[in-house]
């Protein structure tokens, strides 16, 4: 269908696992702005088993709220004219459990890790990683492939011109498993081969008849370089052709959209990358959901995404308590609490995942759990977002088989310019200061870092839009999607409590802060001020201990939070002292309605 090149009205939907969200964007003067958002239950499961029902219902809500005619029966009206129609329709989806993949590589710490990065970056959940050095017996690998029933398998291994025997062995394992895809039985499982070019013929021989095999460029052509884009592009393409084409109602939805449907996490990654690229900054985005926590980061132009599949605030909240440990959750709670009481409340939340806190105490417990889910997810992200072997340091295959670390993490909190939080615990916190404080406690930003939250979870819509119209996507992201909380100023280092930590000159104001204290400096949203930050001899703002730095500080709905508790952050071991400190910080930042915990 011919579309106008001039895009004045854009319709976008995100078909989530429980809710389908639709947004309408319009060009007003020279800029694009969000007009309205509508939502409806997702209808991919029984009794409807047709994803387009939920999509149409969410668009009908947009019609009702705007008075604009967008649908003619079940057809979207093109192009926009007067009070009718839109110019483009785009969509993302994680309905039906999203994109679930297995990856296989010769060496777990090298090509298999690169394959996992490619799959995660494309928006997939990586169910398992198979490698020749994973210490599993061949029959166990076969059983695993059969039992997991992934949507797709990404096979990698070997640098171009290297040995072929290991990667051929992995292809024969997949052939022996004769895997069946999750959706439908009448089609073949997509397998992408992104390995050694010399192994292509042997892999083709093993897999061409039993699977829908695609061959793309090697994702690790030489030891020192990753080439993930061809594999990621193939994942997106096959996600549409095979996985979505067999999910209920998607064929119809695919005919309506003007660009291919993207997996929701892949779209969120796209908008994070677009913002980093257009503003030339280092960005980290986090989406804390009911079952998983996703982290996206761009450092020096390198994008990474991780999925902490068992760290969430409802369905997997018990796992957060189990992984973090009772003591680590309790340390964030500013009142005395019986350990069993916390355990029981967490189990109740898992049984009734849609409940929300009914009292202030329950809210504080939930936010303590959110801090630990975010902290653990960041720890996993740091382990995955690493430099390649052979780049930072000379490494050999034998080193990899010894299972030594995969190089230094790319995550540098001192270099981070912006943290964007989304997900219920952050976007819907009763006070914006609570979201800011959760991000600061869990991520422990260093130096000068902007803090923001996604107002109504629009990032997926804007991510898929960024592939066709970056200007519209970035303008709506900046003006309607992001709620700027403010800026965190946090020096690294330690000093005895009460000693001078920082002196900040902001305009005509001079603020002095002692070690162990937190201070909230009002600075309105949209305001910018030049600041000179002078740390004491104990602290470092990025230029060395005691060396002053100049920075442009941006305000927000919370303001400027100065955190002089030191990095790494350590809470007092004495329970009474710890609770006293928590309440003091809560009061300083106006985190909760009352000044002091009852």
Judged by average pLDDT, the poorest of 94-103, 190-199, 379-388, 568-577 is: 94-103
Sign of the Cα pseudo-torsion (387, 389, 390, 393, in order): positive
- CA nearest to 557, candidates 484, 449, 487: 484
pTM, to two decimals: 0.85
If you average pLDDT over every residue of the chain, what do you get?
88
Q: How far is CA 174 from CA 85, 117, 118, 197, in A?
A: 48, 21, 19, 19
395 pLDDT above the threshold of 80 = no
280 contact partners, CB below 8 Å, separation of at least 6: none
**Whole-number percent of the chain with pLDDT over 70:** 94
- Per the model's pLDDT, the better-predicted residue between 450 and 245 turns out to be 450
Question: Residue 535 forms beta bridges with which residues?
Answer: 502
Mean pLDDT is highest, among 12-21, 118-127, 464-473, for 464-473
Q: Which pLDDT band, with edges at 50, 70 and 90, does 4 fall under?
A: very low
Average pLDDT over residues 272-280: 92
φ, ψ dihedrals at 216, nearest 5°: -125, 175
Q: Length of the chain, please? A: 598
- Strand 539-540 to 492-493 pairing: antiparallel
- Mean pLDDT value across residues 59-82: 93
Give the single-character DSSP code of 477.
I
Residue 151 and residue 120: Cα distance in Å, rounded?
A: 14
Name residues whose C-beta falls within 8 Å of residue 455's C-beta, 6 or more positions apart in sequence.
427, 480, 481, 482, 483
Model pLDDT, residue 97: 64
Q: What gap in Å lies between CA 369 and CA 438, rounded to an integer? A: 10
pLDDT beyond 90 at 490: yes
pLDDT in tens, 170-219: 999 999 998 887 766 667 889 999 999 999 999 999 999 889 999 999 99
Q: What is the share, in percent, of the chain residues with pLDDT greater than 90?
A: 61
Predicted confidence (pLDDT) at residue 394 exceeds the cutoff of 60: no
**Residue 261: pLDDT over 70:** yes
Residue with more model confidence, 315 or 434: 434
Instruction: pLDDT band for 407, please (50, 70, 90 cuts).
Output: low
Residue among 398, 402, 331, 325 nearest 364 (CA): 331
* Closest C-alpha to 410, from 117, 195, 125: 117
DSSP element (H, E) containing 277: helix 264-279
| Ordered strands of the 9-15 beta sheet | 31-41, 19-28, 9-15, 88-93, 262-263
Across 584-590, average pLDDT: 95
**Across residues 393-397, what is the average pLDDT?**
35
Sorted by where each starts, the structural domains of the chain and their CATH numbers stand as 9-95 (3.30.420.40), 99-246 (3.40.50.280), 283-311+412-588 (no CATH)
The per-residue pLDDT for range 143-167, each reduced to its tens digit, is: 999 999 898 999 998 889 888 999 9
Looking up tokens 């001078």 gives 500
Report the pLDDT averaged over residues 523-534: 94
What does the pLDDT read at residue 125? 84
CA 539 from chain centre, in angstroms, equals 31
Quote the pLDDT of residue 111: 83
How many other CB atoms are there within 10 angstroms of residue 384's CB atom? 20
């Amino acid at each position: 269908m011919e579309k106008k090149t001039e895009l004045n009205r854009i319709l976008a939907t995100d078909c989530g696992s429980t809710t389908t969200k639709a947004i309408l964007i319009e060009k007003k003067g020279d800029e694009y702005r969000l007009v309205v958002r509508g939502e409806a239950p997702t209808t991919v499961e029984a009794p409807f088993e047709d994803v387009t029902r939920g999509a149409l219902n969410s668009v009908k809500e947009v019609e009702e709220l705007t008075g604009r005619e967008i649908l003619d029966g079940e057809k979207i009206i093109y192009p926009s004219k007067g009070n009718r129609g839109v110019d483009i329709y785009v969509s993302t989806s994680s309905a039906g459990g999203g994109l679930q993949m297995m990856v296989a590589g010769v060496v777990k710490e090298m090509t298999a890790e690169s394959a996992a990065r490619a799959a995660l970056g494309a928006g997939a959940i990586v169910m398992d990683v198979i490698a020749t050095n994973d210490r599993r017996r061949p029959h166990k690998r076969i059983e695993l492939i059969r039992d997991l029933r992934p949507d797709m398998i990404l096979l990698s291994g070997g640098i171009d011109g290297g040995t072929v025997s290991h990667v051929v062995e992995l292809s024969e394992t997949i052939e022996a498993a004769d895997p069946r895809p999750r959706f439908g039985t009448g089609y073949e499982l997509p397998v992408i081969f992104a390995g050694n070019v010399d192994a292509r013929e042997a892999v083709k021989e093993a897999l061409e008849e039993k699977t829908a095999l695609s061959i793309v460029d090697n994702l690790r052509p030489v030891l020192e370089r990753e080439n993930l884009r061809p594999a990621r592009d193939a994942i997106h393409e096959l996600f549409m052709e095979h996985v979505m084409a067999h999910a209920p109602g998607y064929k119809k939805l695919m005919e309506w959209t003007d660009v291919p449907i993207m997996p929701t996490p892949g779209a969120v990654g796209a908008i994070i990358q677009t913002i980093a690229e257009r503003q030339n900054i280092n960005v980290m985005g986090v989406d804390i959901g009911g079952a998983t926590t996703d982290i996206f980061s761009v450092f020096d132009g390198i994008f990474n995404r991780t999925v902490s599949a068992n760290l969430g605030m409802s369905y997997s909240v018990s796992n957060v308590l189990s992984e973090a440990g009772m003591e680590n959750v309790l340390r964030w709670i500013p009142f005395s609490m019986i350990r069993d009481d916390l355990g029981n409340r967490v189990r109740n939340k898992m049984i009734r995942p849609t409940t929300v806190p009914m009292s202030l105490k329950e809210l504080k417990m939930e936010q303590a759990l959110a801090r630990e889910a975010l902290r653990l997810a960041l720890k996993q992200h740091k382990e995955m977002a690493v430099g390649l072997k052979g780049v930072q340091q000379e490494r050999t295959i034998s080193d990899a088989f010894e299972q030594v670390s995969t190089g230094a993490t790319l995550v540098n909190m001192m270099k981070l310019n912006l943290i964007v939080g989304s997900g219920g615990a952050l976007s819907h916190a009763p006070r914006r200061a609570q979201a800011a404080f959760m991000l600061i406690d869990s991520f422990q930003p260093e130096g000068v870092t902007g803090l923001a939250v996604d107002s109504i979870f629009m990032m997926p819509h804007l991510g898929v839009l960024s592939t066709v119209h970056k200007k519209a996507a970035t303008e709506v992201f900046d003006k309607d999607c992001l709620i700027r909380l403010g800026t965190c100023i946090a020096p690294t280092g330690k000093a005895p409590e009460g000693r001078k930590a920082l002196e900040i000159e902001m305009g005509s104001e001079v603020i002095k802060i002692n070690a162990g204290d937190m201070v909230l400096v009002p600075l309105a949203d949209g305001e910018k001020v030049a600041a000179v930050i002078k740390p004491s001899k104990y602290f470092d703002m990025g230029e060395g201990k005691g060396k002053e730095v100049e920075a442009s500080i941006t305000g927000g709905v919370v303001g400027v939070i100065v955190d002089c508790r030191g990095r790494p952050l350590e809470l007092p071991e004495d329970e009474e002292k710890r609770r006293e400190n928590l309440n003091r910080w809560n009061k300083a930042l106006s985190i909760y309605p009352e000044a002091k915990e009852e």
